[in-house]
Amino acid sequence: MTVVPHRVGTILAFGAIAAVIAIAGALLQTERLGPNLLLAGVYLVGLAVGALFFTAVQEVTGAAWSDSLRTIPATLPSTLPMATVLLLLVFLAHPETYSWTVEEQSGLRGVWLSRPFFIARSSLYLGLWMLSARLLTRPAASSRVAAGVLAVLALTGWLAASDWLMSLTPQWTSTIFGVYVFVGFVVSAVAAMLLTCVWVRVRNPTGRSVSEGQLRDLATKLLGFSCLWAYLWYCQYMLIWYTNQPHESTYYAVRTGVDWRVLFFATVVLKWALPFVLLLGKAGKRRLAVLALAAFSVLVGHWLDLYVMIFPVVATDRVSPGLLETGMALGLGATCAWVLRNCDRLEDPTMTGVNRRNSEP
């Protein structure tokens, strides 16, 4: 009974340190506050949307192996209220983050990228995701409900990625960009789940709440989605590089230039190459330290991926992350730890599927 207050106090202390660092950075570089709020908001949205996707897929397929772990993906959407606050701060208080708010766009693009319509769409996305989270956590949730949630996530996730990230460069378009970002969301959510399960296993090594088989299955899913993300990354980059159209290649010309090149390719190393090496063999999937390192690498790589998407366009004064970015990143870690603080109270994995449902009064 004394462990929970100690854990909560540690998270709060960590969050306070992150807040102090972030505030100091914001006072020194106020022009970078908008992009940092956007990055943090999208990162939290990614964890929530990826977790909803995982839960819906498990429900549609009737998977029983993950029943005892459902607490984790059911808890991650709790980041959506915080993400909503952060994103609304960007849209309302820092509209200059998006160049199209000060540079008038013509034609259909101008209609689509109008602030009232943009904010209304964003509110709709966030509202639908919160509703989806409520529907999936209801005891009467069915595979039909889950299938509907998957359809909603596919459409809104693609649109949100285009609105919030691709419109930072309104003259640049990519038909695969929304899918690429959505898969990145799923990768980050699975990594967060795996890291949480490793933490549960370390705290209770003799317990049965997380089995070795479940850890291995989660690691396999992380490897698979990471490879899918890398494939999409390569397809988008290779096709644009090969055709070398000026209206398309500008996006990568900036990010592969001298200033941003290291961070651009470090994203691939952290989000795919390192997890691929660590999790490809059976031995890596049996060692908790290796699993934790792979999951943490993906989470850091996902943050860096969003950083490279956002900052080369809206904050060109500094390439490497500074004090504000460090504080915001630590704050994201504290937020995730706070949301997942009680997920070590998982169900016995033997009480899954039909057996668990039949045992309920």
pLDDT surpasses 80 at 6: no
pLDDT exceeds 60 at position 156: yes
**175 falls within a domain:** yes
Instruction: Give the per-residue pLDDT at 345.
Output: 62
| CATH, residue 172 | 1.20.1630
Site of tokens 């602030």: 115
**What is the chain's Cα-based Rg?**
20
Structure tokens at 177: 């960009």
Per-residue pLDDT, 358:
34
Whole-model pTM? 0.93
Q: pLDDT tens for residues 40-98?
A: 999 999 999 999 999 999 999 998 888 888 899 999 999 999 999 999 999 999 999 99
Report pLDDT for 346: 60
Distance from the first to the final alpha carbon of the chain: 28
Average pLDDT (153-182) is 95
pLDDT, one tens digit per residue, over 85-112 is: 999 999 999 999 999 988 877 788 888 9
Report, as an integer, the average pLDDT of 139-161: 92
Give the pLDDT score at 73.
93
Q: For 134-159, what is the mean pLDDT?
A: 91
The answer to whether residues 347 and 209 touch, using CB atoms and an 8 Å cutoff, is yes
| Contact present, 321 and 307 (Cβ < 8 Å) | yes
Q: Which tokens is 330 given?
A: 């630590």
| Cα gap 52→104, rounded to integer Å | 36
* Residue 336 covered by a domain: no
Q: Tell me what the pLDDT averaged over the chain comes to.
A: 89
Structure token pair of residue 206 = 């003799």
Q: What's the confidence (pLDDT) of residue 109?
A: 83
The Cα 252–Cα 326 span in angstroms is 25
Instruction: Give the domain range for residue 158.
Output: 30-321
Please state the rounded mean pLDDT for residues 148-155: 96
Confidence at 344, pLDDT banded by 50, 70, 90:
low
Contacts (Cβ under 8 Å, ≥6 apart) of 238: none
pLDDT at 66: 86
pLDDT given at position 1: 35
Q: Quick check: 359 pLDDT over 60? A: no
Using DSSP's 3-state secondary structure scheme, residue 98 falls into coil
Integer Cα distance of 288 and 295 in angstroms: 11
What pLDDT, on a 0 to 100 scale, did the predictor assign at position 342?
80
Domain-embedded: residue 360 = no
Q: Work out the pLDDT band at 206, boundaries 50, 70, 90.
A: low
**Residue 332 located in a structural domain:** no
Residue 20 domain-assigned?
Answer: no
pLDDT reported for residue 68 = 85
339 belongs to a structural domain: no
In whole angstroms, give the CA distance from residue 266 to residue 243.
Answer: 24
Domain membership flag for residue 36: yes
Digit-coded pLDDT (tens) for 251-307: 999 999 999 999 999 999 999 999 999 999 999 999 999 999 999 999 999 999 999
Q: What is the pLDDT of residues 228-242, one digit of tens each?
A: 999 999 999 999 999
Model confidence at 29, pLDDT cuts 50, 70, 90, reads: confident
**139 — pLDDT class (breaks 50, 70, 90):** confident
For residues 78 and 337, the answer to whether their CB atoms sit within 8 Å is no
What distance in Å separates the CA atoms of residue 42 and residue 48, rounded to the nearest whole number?
10
Least confident of 15-24, 118-127, 207-216, 266-275: 207-216
How many domains does the chain fold into?
1
Residue 16, domain member (yes or no) = no
Q: Determine contact, residues 324/36, Cβ cutoff 8 Å.
A: yes
Q: Nearest 5°: phi and psi at 352?
A: -125, 170
Summarize the confidence of residues 17-33 as an average pLDDT. Answer: 91
Q: Which of 335, 328, 331 is nearest to 25 (CA)?
A: 328
> Could you tell me the CA-to-CA distances from 143 to 48, 157, 304 in Å, in that order?
20, 20, 35
Question: pLDDT above 70 covers what percent of the chain?
Answer: 92
